[in-house]
A and B are shown apart, each in its own frame.
Chain A
Amino acid sequence: MPKRTDIKSILVIGAGPIVIGQACEFDYSGVQACKALKDEGYRVILINSNPATIMTDPGLVDATYIEPITPDMVARIIEKERPDAILPTMGGQTALNTAMSLHRDGRLEKLKVELIGANAEAIDKAEDRLLFRDAMTKIGLECPKSEVVHNREEAARALANIGLPAIIRPSFTLGGTGGGIAYNRDEYFDIVQGGVDASPVGEVLVEESVLGWKEYEMEVVRDRRDNCIIICSIENIDPMGVHTGDSVTVAPALTLTDKEYQIMRDASIACLREIGVDTGGSNVQFAIDPVSGRMVVIEMNPRVSRSSALASKATGFPIAKVAARLAVGYTLDELLNDITGTTPASFEPTIDYVVTKMPRFAFEKFPGAEALLTTSMKSVGEAMSIGRTFQESLQKALRSMETGLTGLNEMEIKGAPDKAAIVGALARPTPDRILVIAQAFRHGLTVEEVAQASKYEPWFLRQIRELVEVEAVVRANGLPKDAKGLLDLKKKGFSDDRLAELSGQKAAEVADLRRSLGVRPVFKRIDTCAAEFESHTPYLYSCYEGDGLHPAECEAQPTDRRKVIILGGGPNRIGQGIEFDYCCVHAVYALREAGYETIMVNCNPETVSTDYDTADRLYFEPLTAEDVIELVEVERRNGELLGLIVQFGGQTPLKLAKPLEAVGIPILGTSPDAIDLAEDRDRFQKLIHELKLRQPDNGTATSQEQAVAVAERIGYPVVIRPSYVLGGRAMQIVYDRAGLERYTRDAVKVSGDTPVLIDSYLRDAIEVDVDALADKDQNVFVAGIMEHIEEAGIHSGDSACSLPPHSLPSKILTQIERQTEAMAKALKVVGLMNVQYAVKDGEVYVLEVNPRASRTVPFVAKATGQPIAKYAARLMVGESLKSLAIKKVRGKHVAVKEAVFPFARFPGVDIILGPEMRSTGEVMGLDTNFGRAFAKSQLGAGSKVPLEGLVFVSVKDPDKAAMVKPVKRLIDLGFTVVATGGTADFLRKHGIAAERVNKVLEGRPHIVDLMKDGKIQLVFNTVDGATALTDSFTLRRTALMHKIAYYTTVAGAKASVEGIAALHAGPLDVAPLQSYFKTAF
């Protein structure tokens, strides 16, 4: 069937900010969908509040709305743009929920806009637990026993029927937020209550436990002729009970016979048909009892998902692109398989390798949260790896994580070698359980014992045990001296680093030995068809092959072109996420446009950078020196390699700069030495002195004693952090010597190899972020100056900011520009540079300089209409600012960036902001003035901006005076005020009618009671010191869980009042990005 001609324009809803459970896989899907729809000639309109996405690049679609993804905003866009259809299946749960909300309140019908991809009925059936279960029963598929529960009474009834342990799943929440597993009655009622609260419809499903069963997932694509194909089967190594996003998974499924596989295939297709997903991609999850083979359906998603992104990368089949085309009427046989270029999309990919996905966690950032995995997703990113066998694939995945692993590294099991302790550890679903398993084998446990405790499928356990056994041989005998012996080790996926650890040699020695024996990897293509057809798409992975006698077959076929290799950022983590992938993708785009061959290296399956048609060539490889050097050498066999770009992917590729340079691989742009200079405290300090700039007093310490001495010299409070980290890992503000000692004892081991940096903490200073460009002739262009909303001391990634600055005088801005230029010149920056300043009492202090792409690059690009990452890439290959004809654009708008936090997923964690970054994503609010832009940023970040109601104020003493003005303004706007004792007294003294309310410890009813009763609409709460923090912890958690707007800094509170005032002045309007700038970028 040809495409539909009755629709002309389509609105695509994006997924908004990166949060746990909804990350850049939706940018990847969305970009594919938007491109596909544009190619088909439709007018495409997009809404997404996330500026760090490629999909919001203004050149991609016809009208790009960087606006909060709320039903009201979407309705406004529909009114303005009058699209014929909405595609709600590309933006995760956010898009689906928003579209459903507009459907339910009748606005879609009123505005005559149709849902394509999945209709409302199908979405309801798939998402509503009860409807889903009924649908499955109807087609003869079993679901775990379950009951829908809305209150305690129903919960008790369900418990009697289902028994314990029971799984609690809230309806309509992302990645299972608010759900859990209950093992006893108390826990059961607690989790049910939490889940009912978390669910937007106040509903949970209580489900029979299938804990420990094997978990599988099928990715299905269906067209409107009812052609159904399975793209990929995925098997979870972690058994049921661990969210699939938190599980180590493999593709394809490895432990099913064909008969069982076909039953699952038939069931998945039947599921899509019954639910009524007419076109597009869906996934269906199953659990299988390992003893009887009994199969139950767990759930399905009627949209593209994290696993469909994984399946696309794992097989080379672009699910989102195909799904978008199917949504406008094509059938699968009318679409071509891009990879082969000759066969149609209506087939099932078959693969001849094993894919492993491994999640990455950030528990260390959330003290108070237990590092245990449940049915609610906790991971912040993932790496994917490809090997010819499971072992090769698994070991590549481990080193792709960039958590310091070189393979199945040894770890300490508390209480080992006591067997009971080991068994206890195996039974706990911790993030590092695969290492625990390897360690258990080292302690001599049998496969049966490990399987019994962990419920892992013995097949995987035997594979791990074999690796541990091989390690023991290497440890005992050293490395084999012959090519075949070493080749066999490499075929099992051992890295040179790991072999070095095992044999007591240096990694370089292992590499030398390996090379001298001619043991080198070859590259195979991901071709969707296991080599049945020729592939013209250079989508490559490394493996070790052959017999050691003859060169193995390599399919890399490097071209004779001039080429640039761009190293990506690896798995997402807090502090290094989509923003860096955006920069890498822009480097690719810019250099492709300039005629270079672009070669991307990355191991993150969620990203746009690892789409096989982003760069000319794609290596899906771990970002380690060994893996990168090997592929660089292959690329150098033909054509001319200009060099590598390591400055765009965050800390990951940056760390490789030195080892790569050491083996003579050219690094483009700013030299690794200059990067090092900026990171090296002493060298940098010298530079600052030479340039006559100011820094907060600081020092470096390589021992605890030294740390104390430095702090005493500077004077408390100080900011302390380890050297060479991104995202403020382990960064803290320390107020006294006791705090400092606690830090060096508990948080960070200080040594000569791992020094700590200590800075004087500038209280109440305004922090400023600057992104600048410089060329080889040391011309500098200051691209964007951002004023942080929150004061210095809050990590820049967690702080909201405004571009242009909303309060800094122009004199200061000029000074900042001048200082930025001076540093760029001194560091001989070629490409991007980011500087952080603190402004206090009219003085500008340099906090840090990073001569590389920063987290704010996409925000600056979108706010100023300048593709600065693209410019930077061109500068790095030798062009000049002049030749690029960059001009300063001064818009009349204000852009505000706001951070988004995963606190709700980590019970027991305080939401107070600090110098350690904890946000997972960001949104942009764009409007004509600061207040409105700020309000949009808050709405986009998921906060409710109240227009009236009761505001609760409780602030520390130094903040009290500053609160008077904003609170007065709120009263003018119609708010009433309650406050805790001290704050209430203070406000009353200043003429504000504040009613006193009890603190939690002062007896009931207290503030939390009011909040839980829905009486409070806005919370201003600042605290100082550990005791106060504990006191008010509950109230902040309550605000979070009850979705009450809250601000934990004075600056934030002030900005929110401006936002509220702006909303009072008139309803928010929407405008496409294209309307802000004359030229496309």
Chain B
Amino acid sequence: MTSPKTAGATDAAPRWATAALVLADGAVFWGKGVGAARHAVGEVCFNTSMTGYQEIITDPSYAGQIITFTFPHIGNVGTNLEDIESLNPAARGVVLRGDITEPANWRAAKPLNDWLKSHNLPGVCGVDTRAITRRIRDGGAPSGVVVHAPDGKFDIPKLRKIAQDWPGLDGMDLAIEVTTKQLYSWDETKWALGKGYGKLTKPKYHVVAVDYGAKRNILRCLANAGCKVTVVPATATGEDILRHKPDGVFLSNGPGDPAATVGYTVPAIQAVLDKKVPLFGICLGHQILALTLGGKTRKMERGHRGANQPVKDLTTGRVEITSQNHGFCVVPESLPKNVEVTHVSLFDGTNEGIRCTDKSAFSVQYHPEASPGPTDSHYLFDRFVEMIDKSKGK
């Protein structure tokens, strides 16, 4: 095996290069530029999904990250106005193996390259994304800069310095950056072939969703399950949440280090738990619930990012194939007695879900709303509604 370190250890740009991925450790991967002509710094992570790049790039949980796609053809189905998980992508840039092609799908509205430009996202293509992935796998997710310079002029030492100076995600609160600035309500339901998105007409319950960087499909899944949703900012206090007299409270996914949010999240969630309002959390929301309950979280050596992740539901023994995107996880040993571990990752045994034995609250580390990824776990939204039913004595 050649050392990946040597794979790009020169600072002089080859004639043909219009983009590069510059890592803090010195490596440079030269390629061709895509998207916006600028540079961006972030944590370089990888995602192994073969479909759903548009959803991935618009997933707010990727705030602060540069996404390396392991699948070589990205952009082949173009982009459209429907397959988005937030209006403004939070990811900082993309690293691709193949060139972006013209779109090939009946729903395509815009080629990926144009779409990246319109969202001011830089990217590099033509690099060995497998080599980068192996590097991340073996050495952890590095800080890096993705730069797109159509004129072929690069100041690599400066970019490397930017990467080295970037503080990294550990201890970084990014939820605060991507959360909604104001409260809004949501009634759009899931997408259906030939029909697009629907609308919730007869809501059964009212749920307040705390937005740490929520993917829209979570809100759609809640609406599909019969919940009218009021979305509140991450900084909403217990009072802010309970003021809406919610039938249930939902804690969304989001980016960054959960531990960095405890100052404002834990008191708010504690207030909700004290009022015995049924509660459901996903991803960052799961971690925040665990922290509120007295547990701990930690940064993983390598996160879970893909749409093929097996999770075992310990209560039923069944396996779900899940979509995941997280770099932190809950430490199960740190959880108090009244918290039961309900799900584990079959890849590395890390925690994937918890449930309070004395309260109506549960959460999962993975993304049951999928988008992209398998819909195996959509049922969790129904389970949340059943929990609300039960709390109301139905």
Contact = CB atoms under 8 A, between A and B. Distances in A.
A262 B137 contact: no
Given A265-B374, A346-B346, A349-B308, A260 B193 contact: yes
Max chain A Cβ within 10 angstroms of own Cβ: one of B128, B129, B194, B319: B319
A290 B77 contact: no
B133 interface: yes
Interface in B352-370: 370
A722 to B, nearest CB: 42
Given A254-B76, A255-B77, A290-B106, A532 B14 contact: no
Nearest to A352: B70
A462 interface: yes
A810 interface: no
Contact of A458 (B46, B104, B129, B133): B104
Nearest to A388: B72
A23 B335 CA distance: 56
Contact of A531 (B130, B194, B371): B130
Interface string B91-133: 0000001100111111100000000000000000001111101
A348 interface: yes
A531 B375 contact: no
Contacts of B77: 255-257
A333 B345 CA distance: 11
A549 B73 contact: no
B72 A553 contact: no
A634 to B, nearest CB: 12
B81 interface: no
A550 B10 CA distance: 9
B52 A389 contact: no
Contact of A459 (B17, B101, B134, B194): B101
A226 B129 CA distance: 35
Given A225-B317, A352-B71, A555-B1, A256 B129 contact: no
Given A255-B77, A347-B308, A389-B72, A262 B374 contact: yes
Given A332-B319, A354-B73, A458-B104, A532 B128 contact: no
A172 interface: no
A767 interface: no
A352 B137 contact: no
B107 A293 contact: yes
Given A332-B319, A350-B70, A547-B14, A459 B107 contact: no
A390 interface: yes
Interface string A111-155: 000000000000000000000000000000000000000000000
B79 to A, nearest CB: 9
A292 B321 CA distance: 29
A531 B133 contact: yes
B2 A348 contact: no
B50 interface: yes
B26 interface: no
A128 B307 CA distance: 34
Interface of A is mostly: loop
A262 B373 contact: yes
B3 to A, nearest CB: 9
A547 B29 contact: yes
Interface in A209-243: 225-227, 229-230
B297 interface: no
B379 to A, nearest CB: 13
Interface in B147-176: none
Interface string A587-628: 000000000000000000000000000000000000000000
Interface in B1-37: 1-2, 4, 6-10, 14, 16-17, 29-31
Contacts of B71: 252, 350-352, 530
Nearest to A484: B16
Contacts of B308: 347-350, 529
B137 A534 contact: yes
Contacts of A354: 72-73
Interface string A255-276: 1111111110110000000000
Contact of A552 (B48, B98, B104, B131): B131
A1003 B10 CA distance: 88
Most buried by B among A294, A546, A555, A557: A546
B191 interface: yes
Given A348-B308, A352-B70, A258 B55 contact: yes
B318 interface: yes
A529 B46 CA distance: 12
Nearest to A529: B48
Contacts of A530: 48, 70-71, 130, 133, 306
Of A529, A531, A548, chain B has the most CB atoms within 10 Å of the CB of A531
Counting chain A residues whose Cβ lies within 8 A of the other chain, the interface size class is 35 or more
B318 A344 contact: no
The prevalent SS among residues of B at the interface is: loop
A424 B97 CA distance: 37
B192 to A, nearest CB: 9
A987 B104 CA distance: 70
Contacts of A347: 308-310, 321, 346-347
Contacts of B193: 259-260, 263, 293-295
Nearest to A555: B1
B7 to A, nearest CB: 5
A534 B348 CA distance: 13
Contacts of A531: 70, 130, 133-134, 137
A724 B167 CA distance: 68
Interface string B51-62: 110110000000
Given A293-B194, A347-B346, A350-B48, A524 B130 contact: yes
A344 B70 contact: no
Given A354-B72, A354-B73, A344 B102 contact: no
Nearest to B79: A257
A367 interface: no
A389 B72 CA distance: 6
A389 B104 contact: no
A389 B346 contact: no
B89 to A, nearest CB: 16
Contacts of A446: none
Nearest to A391: B98
Residue of A294, A352, A554 with highest tally of chain B CB at under 10 A: A352
Contacts of B332: none
B105 to A, nearest CB: 6
A348 B1 contact: no
Contacts of B54: 257
B10 A259 contact: no
Contacts of B8: 547, 550
Contact of A350 (B134, B307, B312): B307
Contacts of A261: 51-52
B377 interface: no
Contacts of B371: 258-259
Interface in A271-318: 290-295
Interface in A530-578: 530-534, 545-555, 557
Contacts of A529: 48, 308
A554 B7 CA distance: 11
Interface string A351-362: 111100000000
A463 interface: yes
Contacts of A557: 1
A333 B319 contact: yes
A546 B4 CA distance: 11
A59 to B, nearest CB: 35
| 9 tightest A-B CB contacts, nearest first | A459-B104, A258-B52, A258-B372, A530-B70, A348-B308, A258-B51, A553-B131, A530-B48, A347-B310
Given A346-B312, A545-B128, 11 more contacts: A225-B318, A227-B319, A252-B50, A254-B73, A347-B346, A462-B102, A484-B16, A547-B31, A550-B7, A550-B9, A553-B4
12 contacts: A254-B104, A258-B49, A259-B371, A262-B374, A333-B346, A352-B72, A524-B130, A530-B48, A531-B130, A531-B133, A553-B7, A553-B134
